[in-house]
């Protein structure tokens, strides 16, 4: 103790020096740990960059910036999606209340009004319909109250059937044999099998696809017109399959009756003296031993289409 008292200043300086050396060692250790972590992080970043560089496509280099190119392509893709959306406009339900809530009274009135309207449109376009045809809503046609759980779906189907029928009428097919839809309500259980299609609506990540089966009779030009109108419609129709057969095989009435399905009804341009269809030059007529030679023998066709309506899901 005497030595410490005589050398107190030296002892204090020594203790301070030891403390400073410890602090310097601790600081050095922390710096080394920080440098090691930063070096490891740098190696990780370099490894990731090296992997990205060797991938195809790569982010790019000083000459090509693939990231910016990807951003530009994303803008172009979104613009294409916006333009394509013009061909997938939703078909409004009938009645169109603006909400999913439809009352029995409103649907019953809209159904009667729509069936009457479609029957008048068919008559105006000279399209033959089955007697008292209900356009696949025969079961609901006689009802006053409906199952509340299926009214929204029935209203949507009524709007879609109306749109399909109007396309066929605008193409002036000879006759409509029927439109079949999927069952969507408990009220459909009492309906005729002829009104329903066993297909079901399918939902994916982008849209709901609802199928319909359509059977009609016409000549070749009208078949092409129907397909063209489905293709150019703004409502997203996809023709999944088509079956064409001579209508004579399906004749259910006297072929001599003008209104009978399957009767040999001729389109206007096949009547004597009417010439050919627009834009078509008729081939020269030659006379043989049996009289005039048959140049064109168009026959009535029965066409069955399976059509899907694409209804885009709301964007998130």
What is the average pLDDT value for the chain, to the nearest integer?
81
> CA-to-CA distance for 304 and 243, rounded, in angstroms?
5
> CA-to-CA distance for 159 and 181, rounded, in angstroms?
12
Instruction: Tell me which residue of 218, 151, 149, 154 sits closest to 181, measured CA to CA.
Output: 154
- Longest C-alpha distance within the chain, in Å? 154
Residue 13: what are its φ and ψ, rounded to 5°?
-60, -40
Tokens 């990807």 — which residue? 70
Residue 124: what are its φ and ψ, rounded to 5°?
-65, -30
Q: Which residues pair with 216 in a beta bridge?
A: 176, 303
- pLDDT surpasses 60 at 256: no
> CA-to-CA distance for 182 and 184, rounded, in angstroms?
6
Does an H or E element contain 179, and which? Answer: strand 175-180
Please write the tens of the pLDDT for every residue from 39-55: 888 888 878 777 766 66
- Confidence at 266, pLDDT banded by 50, 70, 90: very low
State the pLDDT at residue 265. 39
Please write the tens of the pLDDT for every residue from 148-167: 788 999 999 999 999 999 99
Helices of type H across 217-269: 220-232
- pLDDT surpasses 60 at 282: no
Please write the tens of the pLDDT for every residue from 167-180: 999 999 999 999 99
Contact 229, 301 (CB under 8 A): no
Q: Which residues pair with 312 in a beta bridge?
A: 207
- pLDDT surpasses 70 at 83: yes
Angle between helices 151-170 and 104-124 (to 10 degrees): 10
> CA-to-CA distance for 197 and 218, rounded, in angstroms?
22
Its pTM stands at: 0.65
Please write the tens of the pLDDT for every residue from 189-221: 888 899 998 889 999 988 899 999 999 999 999
Contact 174, 218 (CB under 8 A): yes
Helices of type H across 171-242: 220-232
Residue 191: both structure tokens together: 């309906």
Give the dihedral of Cα atoms 288, 289, 291, 295; nearest 10 deg: -30
Please write the tens of the pLDDT for every residue from 283-303: 454 444 555 665 556 789 999
- Contacting residues for 119 by C-beta, under 8 A, at least 6 apart: 129, 133
Give the chain's domains with CATH numbers.
86-252+297-312 (3.30.70.60)
């Amino acid at each position: 103790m005497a030595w410490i008292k005589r050398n107190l200043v030296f002892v204090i300086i020594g203790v301070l020096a030891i403390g400073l050396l410890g602090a310097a060692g601790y600081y050095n250790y922390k710096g080394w740990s920080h440098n090691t972590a930063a070096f490891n992080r740098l190696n990780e970043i370099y490894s990731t960059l090296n992997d990205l560089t060797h991938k195809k496509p790569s982010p790019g280099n000083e000459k090509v910036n693939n990231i910016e190119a990807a951003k530009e392509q994303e803008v172009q893709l979104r613009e294409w999606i916006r333009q394509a959306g013009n061909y997938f406009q939703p078909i409004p339900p009938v009645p169109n209340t603006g909400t999913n809530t439809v009352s029995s009274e409103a649907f019953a009135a809209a159904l009667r009004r729509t069936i009457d309207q479609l029957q008048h449109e068919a008559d105006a376009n000279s399209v033959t319909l089955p007697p008292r045809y209900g356009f696949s809503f025969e079961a609901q046609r006689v009802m006053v109250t409906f199952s509340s759980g299926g009214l929204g779906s029935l209203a949507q189907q009524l709007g879609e059937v109306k749109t399909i029928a109007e396309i066929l009428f605008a193409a002036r097919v000879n006759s409509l044999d029927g439109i079949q839809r999927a069952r969507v309500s408990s009220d459909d259980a009492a309906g005729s099998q002829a009104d329903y299609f066993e297909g079901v609506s399918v939902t994916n990540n982008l849209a709901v696809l609802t199928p319909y089966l359509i059977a009609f009779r016409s000549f070749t030009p009208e078949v092409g017109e129907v397909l063209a109108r489905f293709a150019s419609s703004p409502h997203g129709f996809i023709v999944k399959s088509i079956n064409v057969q001579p209508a004579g095989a399906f004749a259910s009435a006297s072929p001599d009756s003008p209104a009978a399905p399957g009767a040999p009804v001729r389109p206007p341009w096949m009547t004597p003296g009417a010439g050919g269809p627009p834009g078509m030059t008729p081939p020269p007529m030659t006379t043989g031993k049996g009289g005039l030679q048959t140049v064109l023998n168009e026959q009535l066709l029965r066409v069955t289409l399976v059509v899907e309506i694409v209804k885009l899901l709301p964007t998130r």
